[in-house]
């Protein structure tokens, strides 16, 4: 069996064990973060039947995924990196999920583009849960306002997303995110990466974004 497929299966087993212990019924989806990896590394997972993939950059994703997606309707492509307003048109065309909405300006642009393209994308609002200056995301105190604004534009906001501070325990931040998500009555929660996905699941994550544990280290 291909190493990359084996890696995915190992992660799925760890998640299943964790769900049994936590008595959680909803199995979180694994977004295989394929950014910087070429299609020859990604193809085994597609052939194995994996459907959710994550990319950081719109241009890179277009070059890699346009043909593949047109031949496979079931693949769901997630934009997990920041989105500049000048790339919104391309992003709406290619992606099924955008995990990084953090301003009214960006929300408005996505809404306008969706109407033009007659396509509805699923949206996550990115929260800067650690209040880090260098990170994107809306502040915790403004999440509710941005959510209301997105709903007024008829955006399909399915949940919140975060990338917690690297140097602190993720668990505290995941707990906060879980509470914020519940307060807004949202179904999905995008958090947890290779190093902390089990902690994220413990705190109700429904999408985990895993790259290096599946594909190996990036060069």
Asked whether residue 219 is assigned to any structural domain, the reply reads: no
pLDDT in tens, 31-71: 999 999 999 999 999 999 999 999 999 999 999 999 999 99
Whether 173 contacts 189, CB under 8 Å? no
pLDDT score for 25: 79
Q: In this predicted structure, what is the pLDDT of residue 219?
A: 72
CA distance 9 to 27: 14
CA dist 158 to 90, 105, 163, 217, Å? 21, 19, 17, 30
Segment 169-198 shows an average pLDDT of 96
Q: How many domains does the chain have?
A: 1
Cα gap 152→145, rounded to integer Å = 11
Contacts 24+ apart (CB under 8 A), 67-71: 68/39, 69/94
CATH assignment of the domain containing 44: 3.20.20.10
* Mean pLDDT, residues 99-104: 98
Question: Is residue 54 assigned to a domain?
Answer: yes
Indicate whether 217 belongs to any domain: no
Q: Is the pLDDT of residue 85 over 80?
A: yes
Q: What is the mean pLDDT of residues 189-205?
A: 96
The pLDDT-based confidence of 217 (bands split at 50, 70, 90) is: confident
Structural domain contains residue 150: yes
Query: What's residue 12's pLDDT?
Result: 97
Q: What is the pLDDT of residues 154-175, one digit of tens each?
A: 999 999 999 999 888 899 999 9
Whether the Cβ atoms of residue 100 and residue 79 lie closer than 8 Å to each other: yes
Using only C-alpha atoms, the chain has a radius of gyration, in whole angstroms, of 17
Q: In this structure, are residues 114 and 121 in contact, taking their beta carbons and an 8 Å threshold? A: yes
Which structural domain range is residue 156 located in?
3-21+28-212
pLDDT digits (tens, 9 = 90+) for 58-69: 999 999 999 999
Residue 218 maps to a domain: no
pLDDT classification of 24: cutoffs 50, 70, 90: confident
Q: Is residue 92 part of a domain?
A: yes
């Amino acid at each position: 069996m291909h190493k990359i497929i084996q890696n995915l299966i190992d992660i799925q087993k760890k998640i299943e064990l964790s769900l049994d212990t936590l008595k959680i019924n909803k199995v979180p989806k694994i977004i295989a973060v394929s950014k910087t990896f070429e299609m020859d590394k990604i193809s085994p997972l597609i052939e194995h039947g994996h459907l959710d993939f994550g990319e950081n950059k719109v241009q890179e994703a277009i070059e890699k995924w346009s043909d593949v997606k047109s031949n496979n309707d079931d693949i769901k492509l997630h934009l997990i990196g920041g989105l500049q307003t000048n790339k919104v048109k391309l992003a709406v065309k290619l992606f099924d999920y955008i995990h990084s909405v953090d301003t009214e300006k960006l929300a408005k642009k996505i809404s306008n583009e969706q109407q033009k393209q007659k396509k509805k994308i699923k949206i996550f609002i990115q929260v800067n849960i650690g209040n880090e200056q260098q990170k994107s995301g809306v502040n915790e105190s403004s999440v509710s306002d941005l959510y209301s604004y997105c709903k007024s534009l008829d955006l399909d906001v399915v949940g919140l997303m975060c990338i917690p501070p690297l140097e602190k325990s993720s668990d505290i931040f995941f707990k906060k995110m879980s509470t914020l998500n519940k307060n807004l009555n949202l179904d999905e929660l995008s958090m947890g990466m290779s190093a902390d996905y089990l902690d994220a699941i413990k705190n109700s994550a429904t999408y985990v974004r895993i790259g290096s544990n599946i594909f190996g280290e990036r060069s």
